[in-house]
Amino acid sequence: MAYRLIVVLKINSSLKYQIMKKLFQIVLIIMTVTLWSCQDELDIQTTSNGAKDMSALKVSPDFDWSTSKTVEITITGLPTLENVEAVKSTLSIKGQDKLFYSGFHAINENLTLVLVVPSNETNIQLKFGSIEKEATIENNKVSFTFIPTITDEN
Amino acid sequence: MWNKSILVIASLMIFSFSTQATVNLNCESGNRSIEQGNCWNFAGIAYSNVEFRISGFWSLRSNQLTSLANAASWSKTPWIKPGTGNITLKTRLENDGGTIRTITFSYITYDATQNNVIKEGESTVFYTYNFPKPFDIWIKDLSIPLPSAIANANQAYKIVITCVGSGGTSRIFLDDIVIPGEYWSDPSNNCLPLAIIIDTDKDGVQDADDAYPNDAARAYNNYYPSDKVFGTLAFEDTWPGKGDYDMNDVVVDYKMNRVTNAENNIVEVVANFVVRASGANHKNAFGFQLNGISPDAIGVVKGNKSGFSDGLFKYKSNGLEDNQEFANCIVFDNFFSFMKPPGGGTIGVNVDKAGKFVPYVEMTVTLPFAKKISINELTTDKFNFYIVSDIASGKRGREIHLADGVPTSLVNQELFGTYDDRSTGSHYYRTINNLPWAINVLQGFEYPIEKVSIEKGYNHFIKWAESSGEQYKNWFENGQGFRNPENIYSR
C-alpha cells in the first residue's frame, strides 16, 4: 500500500508541491495567529517596566504621586433680562457623596473653579437652588450652563 | 411759592411714573433659551429674524394660524407683581390672507395647592384683539389696560399672549412687549414666585444654606479633601537621600476648611489634623505653606504646637513663620514633643505592632484672614504641606514636600541635586526614577509598619505608579488581594 503511495507521489510531483505549499500556508497562519494573540501582552509590557519593588520602580516625571486630580469646572451664567436683578443662591459642587465647594453665586455670573478631587471621581454634580445638573469629567474639565435647552411648554 | 410746589409735585409724579417697574420682551437676545431660563415660556412661537420682523433684529413669530384654540401659539411671562397702566406691544401679520387673526390676553393666578412644580391656577381672558379686515401687513401698536382685578395686586400673576386664527397661512409677529409690573420669578427655584427667605444674620444667604446662620461674617464651609473624609500625608524623612519607603516617618491626616462669607471671601482657614505616627529616628516638624498668600494677609494663628525646637523656627507676631515670602504655618515643630515613643525596645510611635499604641493627637489650627482674599485665589492645590526633617541638627533647611511641591523661602537650596534628589527647578523632590519622598492620599491611608516598603503592604501600588495613576486608582483600599495586612500598621 505504502509502495503504491510513493509511486503515486513520484508520478505526480506537482501534487507533492501542492501539499507542501498547503502545509507551509497552514504553518504561516498558525504563526500569525499566535503572534497576534501575544500582541496585547507585548503592548502592556511596554507601558510598564514590571518593577517588583521600589528600588526597580521608574515612573513618569509627570506623575504627581497623588490619588487626586485637578478639575476645572466652568459655569456659564444665564444673562438676565432688562430690569431684572440677577437672583443669588447657594452654588454647591459635589462628587460622589462628597461636597467640594459652596458659595453664594449670582445666576448671571460666569465662574471657573479649580478643585482637587479624588482621582476616582468620574462625575461632578452642581446644585443651585432647584437647578441640579451632573456632568462627566473629561480631560479634567467639566462644563455647566444655566441657559436651558429650549423646550416648548404644552 | 405755589408754582414751585406744583413743579416739585409734578417732578415727583413724573419720576414715580418713569421708574415704574416693567417686564419687557424685545427678543434681541436672539436666543429664546435665555428668556426661557429667565422664566418666560413659549409654545408654537419662535424668535425670527426674517424680513417681516418688527424692530431690531428679532421678533416673536407665531406658527401658521390654523386653530382657534388658545393652546396653539403663545408666550407667557414669568411671575410678575402687576403694576398699573397698559401693556404695550407691537404686532403685524405676515401676509393679508386668512379668515380670523386674533390676539388674546389672559392672566394666570398663582395656586400653591396645585400638585405640580409650576403652581399655575386659573386663567382668565381679559382682552381680545381682532386684526381689522381687510388684513394688511402694517405694524400696529397695541395698548391694553391691565385689568383692575390684578392691577397693583400684591400677588404673583402671569400674563399670557396668545395668537389664534383660521384660514390662510399667515402668522402673527409680536415685539417690544412691555408689561407694567415687577419681575417676581426665581429662575433658581423652578421659576416659582420669589419667596421671602429666612436670613437671621442678614448676610443674604438664607438660613437653610448658611453653615453659620447667626454669624454674618461666615456663610460656608469649603472642605479639602471633602466634608466626609480626611486625607493622609505620609512622609519619608531622609531627603535628599532615598529612604526605605515605609512612608511612615511622619503620618498626618488632614481636613482643610476654607470658611467663606457671602462674598465668597475667605474668613479663615480651619485646619484639622490627626497626628498618627512617626517611624523616624529624627525629630521632625510639620507645616504647610499657602502658596501665593502673603503672611500679612493672615491674622493671629491659633492651635499650633510650637516652641519645642530650641528656637529653630522664628515666628512673626501673627504666629506664622518669619522670613517667608508666603504664609507658612508650622503645625508642630517637634513631633516627639507631644507624641512620645513608648519605648520598650520598639521604634518610633505607632509603627511597630509590638509597641504600645500612642493615642492619635487631634489638632485644630485656625488661620484668620486679615485681608480680602477670594476663595478662587486660594484654591486647594495651593495647600503645600511639608515636613522639616532633623530639627535636632539645628538647621531649618531640610524641608521635604510632596513631589513637585514648591519649597519655601527657608529651604536649604544646596541640598537640591545632592544624594538621590534630582530636582530640576520645575520638578522638585524626585529621584532619578521620579520617586517621591511623600505621598498624599485624599481618601485616607493605612501606612506600612516600620521598615517595610509600601509595595509590600499594598499589592497594586507599583502598578498604580507605573501606570501614572491610571491603573488601580484604589490601590489603598481594602479590596480582596489589595493588601498584605501583616505589613500594614493596625492598632
Report yes or no: A119 at the B interface, CB cutoff 8 Å.
Answer: yes
The distance in angstroms from the start CA to the end CA of chain B is 92
Looking at the DSSP bridge assignments, the partners of residue B388 are: B285, B399
Kindly report, residue by residue over A111-149, the tens digit of the pLDDT.
999 999 999 999 999 999 999 999 999 999 999 999 998
pLDDT score of A16 more than 90: no
Burial class of residue B332 (count of CB atoms within 10 Å of its CB; 0-12, 13-18, 19+): buried
- Residue A152 pLDDT: 59
Distance from CA of B16 to the nearest CA of A (A): 16
Could you tell me which residue, B381 or A152, shows the higher pLDDT?
A: B381
Provide the pLDDT confidence category of residue A6 given band limits of 50, 70 and 90: very low
Residue B388: strand, helix, or coil: strand
Residue B314: strand, helix, or coil: coil
Alpha-carbon distances of B20 from B6, B8, B183, B410, rounded to whole Å: 21, 18, 12, 63
Specify the pTM. Answer: 0.85
Q: How far apart are CA B330 and CA B217, in angstroms?
A: 26
**Cβ contact B346:B355 at 8 Å:** yes
CB contact under 8 A, B224 and A116: yes
Report yes or no: A90 at the B interface, CB cutoff 8 Å.
Answer: yes
CB contact under 8 A, A87 and B430: no
Q: How far apart are CA A38 and CA B418, in angstroms?
A: 43
Structure ipTM? 0.89
CATH number of B17-193: 2.60.120.200
Name the residue type at position A135: A
| Residue of A58, A78, A94, A104 best to disrupt the B interface, most CBs of B under 10 A | A104
CB contact under 8 A, A66 and B222: no
- Residue A49 pLDDT: 67
**Cβ contact B73:B62 at 8 Å:** yes
Q: H or E segment at B145?
A: strand B140-145
Backbone phi, then psi, for B370, in 5-degree steps?
Answer: -95, -10
Backbone phi, then psi, for A68, in 5-degree steps?
Answer: -130, 170
Copy the grid coordinates of residue A81. Answer: 433680562
- Residue B54 pLDDT: 97
- Residue B346 pLDDT: 81
- Residue A35 pLDDT: 46
Low-confidence ranges of chain B (pLDDT < 70): 1-19
**Cβ contact B93:B169 at 8 Å:** no
**Cβ contact B349:B340 at 8 Å:** yes
The fold of the A68-145 domain, in CATH, is: Immunoglobulin-like (2.60.40)
- Residue B144 pLDDT: 98
- Residue A84 pLDDT: 87
CB contact under 8 A, A119 and B469: yes
- Residue B25 pLDDT: 97
Backbone phi, then psi, for A17, in 5-degree steps?
Answer: -60, -40
B38, B227, B376: residue with CB nearest A81: B38
Alpha-carbon distances of B21 from A97, B141, B176, rounded to whole Å: 43, 20, 15
A126: chain B residues, CB-CB within 8 Å: none
How many residues comprise chain A?
154
Task: Give the residue ranges of DSSP H helices in B41-151.
Answer: none
Provide the pLDDT confidence category of residue A38 given band limits of 50, 70 and 90: very low
Q: How far apart are CA A84 and CA A79, in angstroms?
A: 10
Q: Name the pairing type of β-strands B45-48 and B41-43.
A: unpaired
Q: Where are the beta strands (DSSP E) in B185-265?
A: 185-186, 192-193, 220-224, 231-235, 250-260
- Residue B454 pLDDT: 98
Q: H or E segment at A11?
A: helix A2-11
The 3-state secondary structure of B162-177 reads EEEEECCCCCEEEEEE
Copy the grid coordinates of residue A80. Answer: 438676565
pLDDT score of A47 more than 50: no
CB contact under 8 A, A70 and B381: yes
Residue B82: strand, helix, or coil: strand
Copy the grid coordinates of residue B218. Answer: 461666615
| Residue of A43, A53, A65 best to disrupt the B interface, most CBs of B under 10 A | A65
Q: How far apart are CA B319 and CA B351, in angstroms?
A: 31
- Residue A108 pLDDT: 97
Domains in chain B: boundaries: 17-193, 220-452
Q: How far apart are CA B242 and CA B430, in angstroms?
A: 10
Q: How far apart are CA B455 and CA B476, in angstroms?
A: 10
Peptide bond just before B240 cis, omega within 30 deg: yes
Q: How far apart are CA B71 and CA B218, in angstroms?
A: 49
Residues in A 39-58 with any Cβ partner in B closer than 8 A:
47-54, 57-58
Copy the grid coordinates of residue B439. Answer: 505621598
Give the residue from chain A lying closest to B194, CA to CA.
Answer: A87
A128: chain B residues, CB-CB within 8 Å: 188
Q: Which residues contact B158 (CB under 8 A, 6 or more apart)?
A: B76, B77, B78, B79, B80, B107, B108, B120
Name the residue type at position A82: E
Kindly report, residue by residue over A75-115, the tens digit of the pLDDT.
999 999 987 899 999 999 999 989 999 999 999 999 999 99
- Residue A32 pLDDT: 52
